[in-house]
């Protein structure tokens, strides 16, 4: 890391980690690399491409540092530049994990890598192939002239001979960076929306990270670091969300945020922004606490209420506290899982129905597949806030929505948005820094939110 004479211009080695498809082990390999380097005293800062809550939890535990999301559409180019530059100022290496396949989505992982001129290390599960892996990575490398492939990381190799077959088939300009032998001890557990939350399996993850780091014992860390070229990161003084450029409309306001095993889909960028806007944050658990702490506004984020429906239903004192909060017409933002908690009833995959808080008319039903997904922007009276949708449930018997979200690349209406007595609710997960002033309005009383 190094800084120029300008306070907002920094240099740091950086590398992008992508794959030909989902399910290749990107998060596992990225986490193992982070722990391996961390164990050698190298300060690594990780970022995750796209609107992801679960992978960053894993990566944060592996690296010991906060993990933020980067997305050109949802976050904006200026925001991405600012966060990368600030990370470059304090770290020895920046690693960015891609999303889905390298060229999937619009914008894609390749778009983000090209924007910052970052070389890409391709992670590939080679368990069902040998020389064909070389053909696949060669095709990825030749797809776009503005994307440079630094080499291949062969995941789940069957043997050293298997790795050599791949190494010998690769073109001269695409080296095999290293291989990881197939080992079930370093496989991350999953559930219906992705990986299991890090907070639920902390000890298992520690064992996985250390076992994975041992598999890289023979890899030269200094040689790996040399794969990451020094990149210039800079941002304009007026870009991003500097405290110097944002007024504090939430000054003197306390926002209570639900945070436990049922409600955990919280961008660190969102909480950081709320504090920058002047808010004081307090946290509570709808699962175990008896009441909401004293607050002016409330945020019920997404998560897994369906996995804890019985406990949520049985915490009558918390439901009464939430209902009283709502009856006072105090601002409440309920996103996805928080939205389900605010409805009258939730039916799980096994057909069992549970009573929820009943702040809003309607029921929800969990489904094995389906559900709206993708980047969308909420249409609020105070402005547009970008975010994303990803769920496996369907809500029905709802009141008339006040608006529908705008999809990033499709003309069809997006998720419905509901407002009632200070409550703003829907499936959309919002990224507050996309529009700080509109985000602040969600936690302030207003004619539109009453």
The catalytic residue positions are 336
Q: What is the 3-state secondary structure (H, E, C) of the chain?
A: CEECCCCCEEEEEEEEEECCCCCCCHHHHHHHHHHHHHCCCCCEEEEEECCCCHHHHHHHHHHCCCCEEECCCCCCHHHHHHHHHHHHCCCCEEEEECCCCCCCCCCCHHHHHHHCCCCEEEEEECCCCCHHHHHHHHHHHHHCCCCCEEEEEEEEECCHHHHHHHHHHCCCCCCEEEEEECCHHHCCCEECCEECCHHHCHHHHHHHHHHHHHHCCCCCHHHHHHHCCEEEEECCCCCCCCCCCCCCCCCCCEEEEECCCCEEECCHHHHHHHHHCCCEEEEECCCCCCCCCCCCEEEECEECHHHHHHHHHHCHHHHHHHHHHHHCCCCEEEECHHHHHHCCEEECCCCCEEECCCCCCCEEEECCCCCCEEEEEEEECCEEEEEEEECCEEEECCCCCCEEEEECCCCCEEEEEEEECCEEEECCEECHHHCHHHHHHCCCCCHHHC
Mention every residue, 6+ apart, whose C-beta is less than 8 A from residue 5.
Answer: none
Token pair recorded at residue 357: 């808080």
Token pair recorded at residue 117: 């001129």
Q: Find the radius of gyration of the CA atoms of the chain.
A: 23
Distance from C-alpha of 182 to C-alpha of 187, rounded to nearest angstrom: 9
Count of Cβ atoms closer than 10 Å to residue 219 Cβ? 14
Token pair recorded at residue 186: 């370093």
Determine phi and psi for 68, rounding to 5 degrees. -110, 160
- Parallel, antiparallel or unpaired: strands 190-191 and 254-258: unpaired
Count of Cβ atoms closer than 10 Å to residue 339 Cβ? 31
């Amino acid at each position: 890391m190094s800084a120029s004479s300008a306070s907002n211009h920094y240099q740091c080695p950086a590398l992008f980690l992508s794959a030909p498809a989902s399910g290749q082990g990107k998060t596992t390999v990225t986490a193992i690399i982070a722990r391996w380097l961390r164990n050698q005293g190298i300060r690594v800062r990780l970022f995750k491409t796209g609107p992801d809550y679960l992978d960053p939890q894993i990566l944060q535990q592996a690296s010991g540092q906060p993990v933020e999301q980067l997305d050109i559409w949802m976050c904006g180019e200026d925001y991405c530049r600012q966060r990368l530059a600030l990370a470059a100022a304090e770290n020895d290496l920046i690693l960015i994990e891609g999303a889905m396949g390298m060229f999937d989505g619009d914008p894609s992982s390749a778009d983000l890598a090209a924007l910052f001129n970052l070389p890409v290390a391709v992670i590939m599960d080679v368990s069902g192939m040998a020389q064909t892996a070389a053909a696949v990575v060669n095709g990825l490398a030749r797809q776009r002239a503005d994307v440079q492939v630094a080499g291949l990381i062969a995941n789940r190799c069957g043997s050293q001979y298997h790795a050599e077959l791949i190494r010998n088939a690769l073109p001269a300009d695409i080296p095999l960076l290293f291989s990881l032998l197939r080992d079930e001890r370093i496989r991350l557990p999953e559930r219906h929306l992705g990986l299991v939350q890090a907070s639920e399996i902390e000890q298992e993850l520690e064992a996985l990270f250390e076992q994975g780091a041992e598999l890289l014992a023979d890899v030269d860390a200094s040689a790996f670091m040399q794969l990451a070229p020094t990149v210039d990161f800079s941002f304009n003084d007026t870009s991003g969300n500097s405290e110097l450029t944002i007024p504090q409309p939430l000054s003197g306001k306390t926002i209570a945020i639900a945070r436990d095993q049922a409600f955990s889909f919280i961008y660190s960028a969102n909480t950081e922004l709320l504090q920058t806007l002047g808010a004081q944050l307090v946290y509570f658990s709808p699962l175990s606490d008896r009441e909401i702490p004293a607050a002016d506004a409330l945020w019920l984020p997404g998560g897994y209420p369906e996995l804890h429906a019985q406990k949520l239903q049985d915490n009558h004192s918390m439901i009464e506290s939430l209902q009283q909060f709502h009856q006072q017409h105090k601002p409440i933002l309920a996103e996805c899982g928080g939205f389900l908690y605010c409805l009258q009833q939730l039916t799980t995959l096994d057909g069992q129905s549970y009573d929820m808080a009943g702040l809003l008319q309607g029921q929800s039903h969990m489904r094995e597949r389906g559900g709206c997904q993708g980047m969308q922007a909420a249409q609020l009276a105070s402005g547009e806030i970008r975010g994303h949708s990803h769920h496996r449930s369907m809500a029905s018997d709802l009141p008339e929505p006040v608006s529908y979200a705008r999809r990033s690349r499709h003309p069809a209406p997006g998720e419905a948005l509901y407002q009632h007595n200070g409550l703003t609710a829907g499936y959309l997960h919002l990224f507050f820094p996309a529009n700080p002033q509109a985000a602040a309005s969600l936690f302030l009383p207003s004619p539109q939110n009453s």
